[in-house]
Structure 1
Amino acid sequence: MPGAKTKPAKQGEKSPLPCPDWVLASDSNVHVAGDRSWFGGDYTAFNSVLADGSQVEGIGTVDLPTKRSPSSIGRSRHTTLRLANVLHVPGAVYNILGSPIVLEYQLDVNFEDPSQSSIRDQEGHPIAYFQRASRSNLITLRLSGPPVGPKVGPSLLGTAGYYINATWPATEIQRWAVCQASIDAYRDLGVGQDVGLDIHPAQTSQPPPSARQMSHDEHPMSVEELGQIFGAVSLQGEKMISFMFPSLHPSVLDVVANAVPSAWFNGRDSEDDSNNDWDTNVMGKFICDNRRCRKPGWGSKKVAIRIRGYPGSGYNAVVYNQRCNHCDVLGVFTLDEDSYVERVAYWIKRWADVQVEKPEHDKKKGPPHEFEFCEGGKQGHCKACRAALLSRSAGSR
């Protein structure tokens, strides 16, 4: 992303104080911070890469001290805006508020007068507002100043005409999800409080994942023991039978905005309050990472997806994994994003009583769909599995 290039040399060495610029960038599918000091105690070292090649060194939660509104007064006028899963990109020119902000908070942006914009929590309470940068047309978050907020370095806005965008590839997002499951398993063992994973991006030819010793661990496990734990969790994929893709919500909104501008994403995988439910299929590819298996991977045009609707044009979608039909190991999944957006957008419109033509799906047949290896079928949410079972039952009569 141009916004994540190295800071201009004319600015001299990097300021020891954090960059104050948190730029609203709806085209970005992730939050980004350039300074390590913004992160809290859950910071995890994680080597990854953005779509443009910018290097990611870690990920964690960022708590930003903010003022609720321009007119707020009294002790309660200050609060905290919490951002989860923020990427640490040391080469970033500016910090970025990406599209996940609309999943975490209620956002109302006034582009004419950003100070009249607001960020509210799920109960509707104001948390923060925006301002227009003095030397740029960009909209930035208004932070609380000292002594409530931290001392920050000089603004870099206006020093370079970068297009602000950060895209974290779906393959890297999935790698992080797998690593989170590994971290949870490691902590459940009671070996320590924090762990940093030095995982190399899938695009490189670096060696397999390895674990760093914990800084607070008085009796660290050996790298071999950690590798066995992480390998077992990663290969068995116990917690990865299904996926949700909130980062694709902006793409869905682009398709439905004219007809259903109020569409919103429900991040809870729950049937509570759901008023619509539909099982269908999307497309994707799978890799078998079992080193003892001879099958490298497979593609599927019948990946199970369950789409649910909620009052007020809310929705979510759960995509189900598949297992290798040679070794029964869960696959490493890569979603065909276009098919996901098409299916989800279609049902959002249908449920909103919008006249929409049924999409023409690719008539080419893929590999036979096998119920035994489909996690969606096991959960009762695979359209292709139901059809296969009905056909099998009819053939046995």
Structure 2
Amino acid sequence: MASGLSPDWVWSNTSNATACNDREWFDEYEPFESHTGTHFGPGPRVLGVGTVNLPVITSPDATGPKRHGILKLTNVIHVPDAVCNIISSHDFIESMPDGCGFTLGMGAPGTQGSVLGPDGESIAYFKGDHRLFALALSEPPVGPVTGPSRFRDDTHYAVNVEWPDSEFARFQAHMAQRRQDPTKQRYSAEEKQWLKTHFGGEYHFLRVYGLSIYKEEDRDEGAAIVRGMMANE
């Protein structure tokens, strides 16, 4: 992506879901139309749900291989209109082994706190020069090229995302149906691995052929192309 990925991954203690505004961050992705919620009714749209393997710097003074790590974020909702990417602290800690935690507002010099692993070691940290609790990401070539922030200097922000329980339940039902009905599985495990190896995944493959992951007929056409290409190998 020429302009770079959205750079701000902000920690939130008040959000019940983790959200990403940039499709390019996702390693696994299930198109699913939904919406976030507000006190006044439906909020910004949701286009899909997936997994993000976020490359982070473990601590400001770490060097060598220990400098970089991966935070695996699951059930991430794709909210294109969000001003930044939001990590629900509750969701993240629930998905981690016992003993993991975080500190806010205190930590090593140059930080605003850290995400802690089960042994109490820092596995990621919050940048000391950011207006919010934003994670320090691995720089290229370990991490991706990032673009400009959507935050405006003259604006104050309250970062929060709410995904209604009813919408999460609807997504779970959608995934359960896909697992139970083999005809709903567009690709076999072998085909998924082929896509990942040669194109980085279905999304990138479809783009090469001018198709959209958000259109079922395009995805069906893409699956047919994949099977034809694999048969000719």
Same fold by TM-score, threshold 0.5 exceeded? yes
Q: Distance in 2 between matches of 1:83 and 1:116?
A: 21
Q: For structure 1, list consecutive stretches of 5 or more residues without a partner in the other structure.
A: 1-14, 197-210, 220-397
1:124-173, CA deviations, whole angstroms, 9 ceiling, x for partnerless residues? 55421112444x2x111110111111110112334331211100111001
Counterpart selection for 2:163 from 161, 168, 178 = 168
Kept after mapping to 1: 8 A contact 2:48/2:77: yes
Counterpart selection for 1:67 from 52, 57, 66 = 57
Determine whether 1:120 maps to 2:126: no
1:25 corresponds to which residue?
12
> Compared with structure 1, are the counterparts of its residues 89 and 189 closer, same or farther at alpha carbon in structure 2 (3 Å cutoff)?
closer
Kept after mapping to 1: 8 A contact 2:106/2:113: no
Q: Distance in 2 between matches of 1:179 and 1:76?
A: 39
> Compared with structure 1, are the counterparts of its residues 132 and 125 closer, same or farther at alpha carbon in structure 2 (3 Å cutoff)?
closer
Determine whether 1:151 maps to 2:141: no
- Matching residue's letter, 1:139: F
Q: Which has the larger radius of gyration?
A: 1
1:82-109, CA deviations, whole angstroms, 9 ceiling, x for partnerless residues? 1001010010111101131221232221
How do 1:50-199 residues align onto structure 2 when only pairs under 5 Å count? 50-52=36-38, 53-98=43-88, 99-105=90-96, 106-113=100-107, 115=111, 117-122=113-118, 124=120, 126-134=122-130, 136=131, 138-159=132-153, 160-187=155-182, 192-193=187-188
Q: Distance in 2 between matches of 1:123 and 1:178?
A: 36
Q: Distance in 1 between matches of 2:94 and 2:117?
A: 10
Kept after mapping to 2: 8 A contact 1:22/1:97: yes
- Matching residue's letter, 1:110: L
Q: Counterpart of 1:96 in 2: which secondary structure?
A: strand
Cα shift at 1:33: 0.5
TM-score (norm: length of structure 1): 0.43
Aligned length: 187
Q: Which runs of 4+ in 1 moved over 6 A?
A: none
> Compared with structure 1, are the counterparts of its residues 190 and 180 closer, same or farther at alpha carbon in structure 2 (3 Å cutoff)?
closer
> Compared with structure 1, are the counterparts of its residues 116 and 92 closer, same or farther at alpha carbon in structure 2 (3 Å cutoff)?
closer
Determine whether 1:217 maps to 2:211: no
Kept after mapping to 2: 8 A contact 1:65/1:78: yes
- Matching residue's letter, 1:22: W
How do 1:200-211 residues align onto structure 2 when only pairs under 5 Å count? none
> Compared with structure 1, are the counterparts of its residues 132 and 146 closer, same or farther at alpha carbon in structure 2 (3 Å cutoff)?
same
Q: Distance in 1 between matches of 2:48 and 2:176?
A: 16
Q: Counterpart of 1:143 in 2: which secondary structure?
A: coil
Q: Distance in 2 between matches of 1:191 and 1:180?
A: 13
> Compared with structure 1, are the counterparts of its residues 169 and 70 closer, same or farther at alpha carbon in structure 2 (3 Å cutoff)?
same
- Matching residue's letter, 1:100: D
Cα shift at 1:184: 1.5
> Compared with structure 1, are the counterparts of its residues 116 and 132 closer, same or farther at alpha carbon in structure 2 (3 Å cutoff)?
closer
Greater relative contact order, per chain length (Cα 8 Å cut-off, separation 6+): 2
Cα shift at 1:119: 1.9
Q: Distance in 2 between matches of 1:162 and 1:122?
A: 32
Q: Counterpart of 1:154 in 2: which secondary structure?
A: coil
Determine whether 1:48 maps to 2:38: no
Cα shift at 1:17: 1.9
Kept after mapping to 2: 8 A contact 1:108/1:117: yes
User: For the aligned residues, what is the CA RMSD?
Assistant: 2.6
Kept after mapping to 2: 8 A contact 1:34/1:93: yes
- Over the matched positions of the two proteins, sequence identity in percent amounts to 34
Kept after mapping to 2: 8 A contact 1:133/1:139: no
Q: Counterpart of 1:128 in 2: which secondary structure?
A: strand
> Compared with structure 1, are the counterparts of its residues 178 and 190 closer, same or farther at alpha carbon in structure 2 (3 Å cutoff)?
closer
> Compared with structure 1, are the counterparts of its residues 139 and 189 closer, same or farther at alpha carbon in structure 2 (3 Å cutoff)?
closer
Kept after mapping to 1: 8 A contact 2:178/2:185: no
> Compared with structure 1, are the counterparts of its residues 187 and 96 closer, same or farther at alpha carbon in structure 2 (3 Å cutoff)?
farther
Kept after mapping to 2: 8 A contact 1:46/1:58: yes
> Compared with structure 1, are the counterparts of its residues 188 and 125 closer, same or farther at alpha carbon in structure 2 (3 Å cutoff)?
farther
